[in-house]
Structure 1
Amino acid sequence: MTVPAPTRDPAAPVGPARRAAGPHRAAPGRGRGDPGRPAGRGRGAAGRPAGRARGRGAAWLYGGIAVGLPLAFLGTFFAWPVLALVARGFFPGGALDLGGFADVFARPRTLRILGQTLTQAALGTAGAVLLGIPGAYVLYRCRFRGRGLVRALVTIPFVLPTVVVGVAFRSLLSVGGPLGFLGLDGTFAAIVLALVFFNYSIVVRTVGGMWARLDPRAEQAARALGASPWRAFVTVTLPALGPAIASAASIVFLFCATAFGVVLVLGGVQFGTIETEIWVQTTQFLDLRAAAVLSVAQLVVVAAALTVAGRARARRERALPLRTTDAGHPLRLVVRRRGSAAGPGPARGGAAPARWRAGPDLLPALVTAAVVLGLLALPLVGLVAQSLRTPAGWGLDNYANLGTTGGSGALTVSVWEATANSLRVAVDATVIAVVVGVLVALVVSRRPRSRAARRGVAALDAVFMLPLGVSAVTVGFGFLITLDRPPLDLRSSLILVPIAQAVVAVPMVVRTVLPVLRAIDPRQREAAAVLGASPLRVLAGVDGPYLVRGLGLAVGFAFAVSLGEFGATSFLARPDRPTLPVVIFRLIGRPGAENYGMAMAAAVVLAVLTAGVMALAETMRTKEASQW
């Protein structure tokens, strides 16, 4: 017997439509307590509003925590100390008195310092950008053996203590130093060179990270149409790199304008800047009024630089794709010329001789090698050489003396004890900076639809960049005058130094993690939320994997910056618990060859620690995290 085939109702859905219609048929069962799926996640009339309401409530709660905790931290440990110090200058008798502006800016010394600050910052930025663009190309667009090691070496100057670098340059350029014949000791050029030494890595990493993900086909098309390599770079590649270059230049200008240790050691009073003048007026003259006026002037410069950096960075981050192929190519120093002078065929009696010419990467490779070896490595090598020089000749006596307190009781603890203390403080500061910085990055990485919310996110991003440009001396001195009474009497607490260092490190964490989070397609979060995932589950399932990828470099930067922080720590470190940069500064200021040799040896120890941390962080680097 033949069984007739079942007939299908023409109105019945088939395929995906039938599967989509299934939940509608089952909805009444779930509404009556079907244990298969929760009622709130279906499309029933009763479950939908309650589920959405709970999701919105949880999102507001978590968003409030993510915004409130960082703002409370920044307000308590940055805004309050800085504003308190400024208020002491503007309210000397309890009433507002703005006469300090006219008084301070009428001084010829102030106008000279402002001019020197802007000139040094402009020249340092120009040098770092001009030398950094070839380095970005070689280290991020080309592949060669040892590239990771060179990247780590390039990053070391940025995290070294400023006082150490100033002494290293002075020993290199002094009359008896290896480059003493240049006559640059105590000159304006020496300061500019040291500023380029510090900020070269910012340009290399920021521009290089963008360059590594550029599609090479646009430049290849220009070359195929007859453009020379230089014309293709100027007309195609350089405009594409414009946002990254502008972002790097504004950040470098900010750091050059707020340089402290380098200018203090190399320039002294003759080539002082706003940063060093704030320190002089605060610590030597106790003129808080003048320091407050100069702090306001510095904030204006910082705000302008951060505004330019924020706009350029926003353009650059919107251009970041989530996934890119490696556009790098092997380093081409020389290339073989096709054919010969006699033509493409073989020469008479045998094959044509091989002819070679300079490759397209030869010039940027030579410039990068000269900068890395001459500007970056030479001061570090000179530092090592000074640490091995003793009154009796060459040897390891300075390193052996690190277990002592120096000549004539220069220190209260040994250098090794100070090193252990620096490591403990850096661990605490890194934990605080990572927690606060990640919360800020999670909030700032969102792209809200309303214009008011977008402005709020941009304002939050700019606010947390302010510690980069405000004098660390101002922050440290502000801690002393505000955190010395209940309910926050922390002046004798061991947590005070880690908090001060975390304030400086938080912007580094934000800038490292933020490109990773902004590279995530927001539709992934929306899809997860539509499928019923809670805000915490969206965070763990969508943002979490990318966040973990970017944390390695963020932790490395925060740890290295904490190790080398000197400005605020010099005010806050207890005599029995100094950090390594503070000990080095004390040894440099004490007479005697033994103390000076110990300072050089301690500086080498600090450089090795920071190099090791950054090399480890470099191995955990992601393409998105490399933007900072």
Structure 2
Amino acid sequence: MKTLMKKRTVPRWLLLTLPLLFLALFYFYPLIKIVLVSFAPEGTWEPGRLQQLVSSDSYFRILRFTFWQAALSTLLTLLLALPGAFVFTRYRFPLKNLLQALMTVPFVLPTVVTAAAFQALLGPGGLVNDALMRLFDFDSPPVKLNQSAAFFLLAHIFYNYSLVLRIVSGYWARLDPHLKEAATMLGASPLRTFFKITLPLLIPPITSAALLVFIFCFTSFGVVLILGGPGCATIEVEIYRQSIQLFNLPMAAALSLIQICINFLLMLFHARLGRNSRIGFFSSTPGEAPDQARGLLQKSLLVTNLAFMVILLLTPLLALLLRSFLGEHGLTLAYYRALFTTPPGSVFFVPPVQAVLNSIGFAVLAMGMAVLLGLLASSYLACAENNKKNSTHFWDAIIMLPSPLPPLPLDSAISLP
């Protein structure tokens, strides 16, 4: 006799309902408003209104500069981070875990903090220029990076160096060491083994990291606006200029739509590549234990990369910290005491400490919601992947689409009537 009580399972698609509902309200609804304002600004369908964007040399130049700076930032980050990934994979050295944890800090810093850190280090009144002017009696700052593309390119490398290092080194450490041993037994030199076996296996994580870096640099706003100046306008900066300064909301919406479409295609490609190759930001158990650096060449490579990491990732933050203690007459705690006061005529509506507490409260609330929605979405994607569903890449890209996108495009859409 068959049992009357059967175990019922919840349909897997229900796991995705709440995350999709959240995205529909706070992402796709503003996106629909962007489409309507771009193609139907007066209530009637007018795709010809976007002809100005396509035919204008200025907007084409902005689009070209956005791709150019993102591609150059990606290339420079890869060239500088891949040797560091090799060092982290191959060698064992003191404080390795601590340095690996510290390298994650720049990736989560707000853009305004990063821009302020580089201004404090290399700006016209930064520590480097102050030191050089005092040592060599210069009349003007010798390092002139402010309001230039080189300045925000350096900040992009600062942001994304740890991203490339973590992804590539984590994947590199999991490569099967028996492949290298087999090549050595067959007479292949270490250099030939690297180019014939190791490098082809590293193409997926390198491509994945490059895509992420390109996406983050393509949508960069605060760093480009503060460090690059008006002469370095990207799509995101132009959206800000059109919506805030010129109040040309249809043009801002059109630019936002272009940026979102490009991001979706890149995220779709990244989702497919990442799932096929099992690429992640955090490494798992390594396949080959790292060894001590031996010989002058290995030690020089190790020391050079570690020194570069410290200079790139720590000196801007240390400069910002030191600047917070420097006043007109030397070291002071006045700026920290000012955090607890609101003097007359202050631009703050609340004391700065209260603003910090508000930020913490909002962050905790957002974290709780993000964890709940992320667990539901990840559970669905894991189930779909185990069942070999072809739609996994699509839903992964949909869920990850808001991640690299700064809030400015959606803010401009929400502000539309």
**Do these two structures clear the TM 0.5 threshold for a shared fold by scoring above it?**
yes
* Structure 2 counterpart of 1:382: 319
Range with bigger deviation, 311-320 or 278-287: 311-320
Q: Kindly indicate whether the alpha-carbon contact (under 8 Å) linking 2:89 and 2:169 is maintained by their aligned counterparts in 1.
A: yes
> Could you say what secondary structure the match of 2:239 adopts?
helix
- The Cα shift of 1:448 comes to 5.7
Distance change in 2, residues 1:182/1:441 (3 Å): same
1:308 aligns with 2:275: no
Alignment partner for residue 250 of structure 1, among 199, 208, 211? 211
Deviations 1:214-273 (A, max 9, x none): 222222333344433333222221211211111111011000000010001011221010
In structure 2, distance between residues paired with 1:325 and 1:411: 50
1:425-452 per-residue CA deviation (whole Å, 9 max, x = no partner) reads 111101100111111111112246877x
Read off the aligned partner of 2:255 and give its amino acid letter.
Answer: L
- Does 1:75 pair with 2:1? no
Provide the residue aligned with 2:230 in structure 1.
269
**Counterpart residue identity of residue 340, structure 2:** G
Distance 1:200 1:310 in 2: 21
User: 1:569-618: CA deviations, max 9, x gaps?
Assistant: xxxxxxxxxxxxxxxxxxxxxxxxxxxxxxxxxxxxxxxxxxxxxxxxxx
Change (3 A) 1:327 1:406: farther
Task: Give the distance between the partners of 1:123 and 1:70, measured in 2 at CA.
Answer: 35
Match of 1:317 in 2: 278
How many equivalent residue pairs?
404
Q: State the alpha-carbon separation in 2 of the partners of residues 323 and 470 from structure 1.
A: 28
Q: Deviations over 1:362-395 (max 9, x none)?
A: 42x2442243122211211111121111122112
Aligned partner of 1:105: which letter?
A: V
**Structure 2: distance between partners of 1:133 and 1:231:** 18
CA contact (8 A) 1:141 1:329 kept: yes
Contact conserved, 1:163 with 1:262, CA < 8 A, in 2?
Answer: yes
Q: The residue matched to 1:181 in structure 2 has which SS? A: coil
Q: Relative to structure 1, is the Cα distance of residues 405 and 230 closer, same or farther in structure 2, using a 3 angstrom cutoff?
A: farther
Structure 1 residues 427 and 318: alpha-carbon distance in aligned structure 2, compared to 1, 3 A threshold? closer
CA distance in 1, matches of 2:343, 2:194: 55
2:73–2:214 Cα contact (<8 Å) kept: yes
The Cα offsets for residues 265-321 of structure 1, whole Å up to 9 and x where unpaired, read as 01122101001111111111111111122112212321232133123212211899x
Aligned to 2:134: none
Which residue in the other structure is 2:138 paired with? none
Matched, 1:393 2:368: no
1:232 to 193, 201, 204: 193
2:167 corresponding residue in structure 1: 206
Is 2:407 aligned against 1:472? yes
- Over 3 Å counting, the alpha-carbon distance change for 1:98 and 1:414 in structure 2 is same
Give the residue type in structure 2 aligned to 1:377. Answer: L
Corresponding residue to 1:143 among 75, 87, 92: 92
In the alignment, structure 1 segments of 5+ residues that lack a partner are: 1-30, 32-45, 336-356, 483-628
2:247 is equivalent to residue 298 of structure 1: no
Q: Is the alpha carbon distance of 1:241 and 1:99 closer, same or farther for their aligned partners in structure 2, counting shifts above 3 Å?
A: same
Determine if the alignment matches structure 1 residue 164 to structure 2 residue 164. Answer: no
Q: CA–CA distance in 2 between the matches of 1:319 and 1:71? A: 23
Which amino acid is 1:229 matched to?
P
Match of 1:58 in 2: 9
Contact 1:90 1:292 in 2 (8 A): no
2:336 alignment partner AA: Y
Deviation per residue, 1:31-86 (Å, 9 max, x gap)? 5xxxxxxxxxxxxxx24xx67xx44x5232xx232011111111111111222233
Structure 1 residue 129 corresponds to structure 2 residue 78:
yes
For 2:20, give the aligned amino acid.
Answer: L
Which residue does the alignment assign to 2:396?
461
Pairing 1:316-465 to 2, within 5 Å after superposition: 316-317=277-278, 324=285, 327-332=288-293, 335=294, 357-360=295-298, 362-363=300-301, 365-405=302-342, 408-447=345-384, 454-465=389-400
Query: Structure 2 CA distance, aligned partners of 1:329 and 1:290?
Result: 53
CA contact under 8 A between 1:131 and 1:367: conserved in structure 2? no
Secondary structure at the residue paired with 2:348? coil
Cα gap change, 1:58 to 1:263, in 2 (>3 Å) = same
Tell me, yes or no, if the aligned pair for 2:205 and 2:279 is still in contact at 8 Å: no
SS in 2 for 1:227: coil
1:174-213 paired onto structure 2 within 5 Å: 174-177=123-126, 178=128, 180-213=141-174
**What SS class does the counterpart of residue 408 from structure 1 fall into?**
coil
Give the AA of the match of 2:305.
T
2:181 aligned residue (216, 220, 229): 220
C-alpha change, 1:444 and 1:373, in structure 2 (3 Å) is same
Residue-by-residue CA offset, 1:136-160 (whole Å, 9 max, x unaligned)? 2333443322112211221111111
Counterpart of 2:136 in structure 1 is: none
* Alignment TM-score, normalising by the size of structure 1: 0.60
CA distance in 1 between counterparts of 2:209 and 2:14 reads 31
2:39, 2:50 within 8 Å by CA — same for their partners in 1?
A: no
Matched residue type, 1:102: Q
**Structure 1 residues 149 and 318, CA, compared in 2 at 3 Å: closer, same or farther?**
closer
Q: Secondary structure at the match of 1:81?
A: helix
1:287 corresponds in structure 2 to 248
Aligned counterparts, 1:550-565, within 5 A: none
- Structure 1 partner of 2:36: 87
Structure 2: how far apart are the matches of 1:158 and 1:409?
32
Q: What do the CA deviations read for 1:537-581 (whole angstroms, capped 9, x no partner)?
A: xxxxxxxxxxxxxxxxxxxxxxxxxxxxxxxxxxxxxxxxxxxxx
Return the alpha-carbon distance in structure 2 between the equivalents of residues 418 and 111 of structure 1.
40
Residue 134 of structure 1 deviates from its aligned partner by 2.0
Q: Distance in 1 between matches of 2:209 and 2:69?
A: 17
Matched residue type, 1:145:
P
Indicate the RMSD between aligned Cα atoms, in angstroms.
Answer: 2.5
| Cα distance in 1 between the residues matched to 2:39 and 2:58 | 20
Give aligned-pair identity as a percent: 35
Closer, same or farther: CA 232–405 of 1 in aligned 2, 3 Å:
farther
More displaced 10-residue stretch of structure 1: 304-313 or 437-446:
304-313
Distance 1:314 1:367 in 2: 34
In 2, Cα distance between equivalents of 1:391 and 1:449: 63
* More contact order relative to length (CA 8 Å, sep ≥ 6): 2
Determine if contact 1:157/1:376 at 8 Å carries over to the other structure: yes
TM-score by length of 2: 0.89
